[in-house]
């Protein structure tokens, strides 16, 4: 197949999934054209059959907000025509599904089929806003195929966007178990915890939905009880507040803010436990990557996280904001390394069995085949 993939290039789950999917599809022999306004962060090196197309944006003094959605539609139209794409896969509905639909309309019956993957806040937060909701609903209904990354997200889409349940196939996020691996080398443990302390880790885009200050609150309670280090990976609007809170609690010397990191697998294999206290999370790719790296996850009972984490078996689920409970769970693990290792092994097995690329990518390929075999929406 010849497949166009439209996604966000920035650090974040939807861009990561889109890029990793493109790379795996190319390994399976498909020709893949990734389209975005910048090079996606996980597309660092050359891969056979993978092409990147940067959306060309002409500026003009009249534009306070240059119309990216239109420029993307023109790029998709151009690429679909030149390379005779069978299908365009839009990751994150806004604006990718609408731009893909415009490109398809411009091409008439020769246009590619459109598959849209709903990732999370495109439905639960941004997509709900009155300024985006009608076009989000319209464009997802116009897609020839729809996937959601969890049962939770399918339910939200059905409830809030009145999309028929049977139109959405749930295909979860996935990992490459050879990349996210507990024994990954080189190991950075010595530099992250020079005193041999156990390591708690958090990876996110530091948006309010991630509740990064809860991570600091949890660590403050852990640190009051025992020695440990906290490694914070990523950057975003709440980083300053988190740094400030670490200073207020007097724990800043044991908290490392590393900033953005393109190869988080190098760090995750050093984690003894992973903290993700999000307010909402349609899937929680960062948690899955940590589990595949052998770290038990302490997270919130929110969104799609209970589909990923089995409480007490491969991690812990606590109510949103329950920093005491999360700290107790972290202490339970750090004080009993044998239990932590057993849970980490369970997390790794669960991640590999259910969410390996070898299992999930063929689900996308089967879905594409179904969409191409079906009639146009
Ligand atoms: O929704 C966002 O805030 C951004 C989006 C992203 O691009 O990172 O994250 C969502 O998509 C990921 C990949 O499918 C999921 O693992 C995340 O859970 C989801 N984020 C939220 O639902 C908050």
- Compute the distance from residue 121 Cα to the ligand 1 centre, in Å: 6
| pLDDT above 80 for 11 | no
Predicted local confidence at residue 376, as pLDDT = 59
Q: Give pTM, 2 decimals.
A: 0.96
Does 326 contact ligand 1 (Cβ within 6 A)?
Answer: no
Tokens, residue 228: 């440990």
Q: Mean pLDDT over all residues of the chain?
A: 96
Does 121 contact ligand 1 (Cβ within 6 A)?
Answer: yes
Does 284 contact ligand 1 (Cβ within 6 A)?
Answer: yes
Does 210 contact ligand 1 (Cβ within 6 A)?
Answer: no
Predicted local confidence at residue 262, as pLDDT = 86
- For residue 315, whether the previous peptide bond is cis, meaning omega lies within 30 degrees of 0, is no
- Compute the distance from residue 321 Cα to the ligand 1 centre, in Å: 19
| pLDDT above 90 for 136 | yes
Q: 122, 93 in Cβ contact below 8 A?
A: yes
List, in sequence order, the alpha helices (H) in the chain: 13-27, 68-83, 93-107, 121-124, 133-142, 151-161, 189-192, 212-225, 239-248, 265-268, 285-292, 305-308, 323-335, 337-355, 357-373
pLDDT category at 377 given cuts 50, 70, 90 is: low
- Compute the distance from residue 231 Cα to the ligand 1 centre, in Å: 21
């Amino acid at each position: 197949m010849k497949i166009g993939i439209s996604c966000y290039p920035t650090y974040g789950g939807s861009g990561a999934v889109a890029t990793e999917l493109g790379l795996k599809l190319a390994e399976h022999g498909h020709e893949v054209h990734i389209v975005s306004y910048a090079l996606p962060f996980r597309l660092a090196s050359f891969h056979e059959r993978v092409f990147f197309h940067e959306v060309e944006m002409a500026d003009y003094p009249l534009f306070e907000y240059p119309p990216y959605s239109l420029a993307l539609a023109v790029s998709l139209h151009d690429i679909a025509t030149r390379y005779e794409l069978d299908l365009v896969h839009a990751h994150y509905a806004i604006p990718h599904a609408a731009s893909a639909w415009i490109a398809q309309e411009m091409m008439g019956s020769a246009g590619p089929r459109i598959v849209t993957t709903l990732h999370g806040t495109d439905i639960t937060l941004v997509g709900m806003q009155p300024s985006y909701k009608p076009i989000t609903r319209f464009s997802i209904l116009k897609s020839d195929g729809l996937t959601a990354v969890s049962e939770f997200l399918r339910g939200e889409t059905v409830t809030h966007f009145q999309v028929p349940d049977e139109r959405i196939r749930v295909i979860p996020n996935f990992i490459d178990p050879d990349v996210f691996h507990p024994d990954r080398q080189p190991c950075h443990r010595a530099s992250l915890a020079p005193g041999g302390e156990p390591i708690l880790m958090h990876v996110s885009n530091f948006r309010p939905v991630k509740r990064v200050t809860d991570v600091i609150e949890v660590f403050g309670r852990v640190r009051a009880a025992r020695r440990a280090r906290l490694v914070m990976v990523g950057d975003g609007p709440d980083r300053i507040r988190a740094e400030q809170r670490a200073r207020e609690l007097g724990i800043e010397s044991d908290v490392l803010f590393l900033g953005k990191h393109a190869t988080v697998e190098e760090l995750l294999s050093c984690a003894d436990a992973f903290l993700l206290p999000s307010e909402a999370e349609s899937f929680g790719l960062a948690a899955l990557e940590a589990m595949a790296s052998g770290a038990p996850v302490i997270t919130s009972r929110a969104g799609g996280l209970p589909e990923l984490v089995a409480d007490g078996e491969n991690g812990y689920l606590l109510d949103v904001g329950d920093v005491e409970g999360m700290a107790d769970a972290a202490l339970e693990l750090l004080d009993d390394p044998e239990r932590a290792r057993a849970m980490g092994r369970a997390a790794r097995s669960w991640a590999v069995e259910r969410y390996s690329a070898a299992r999930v990518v063929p689900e996308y390929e089967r879905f594409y085949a179904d969409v191409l075999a079906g009639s146009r929406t």
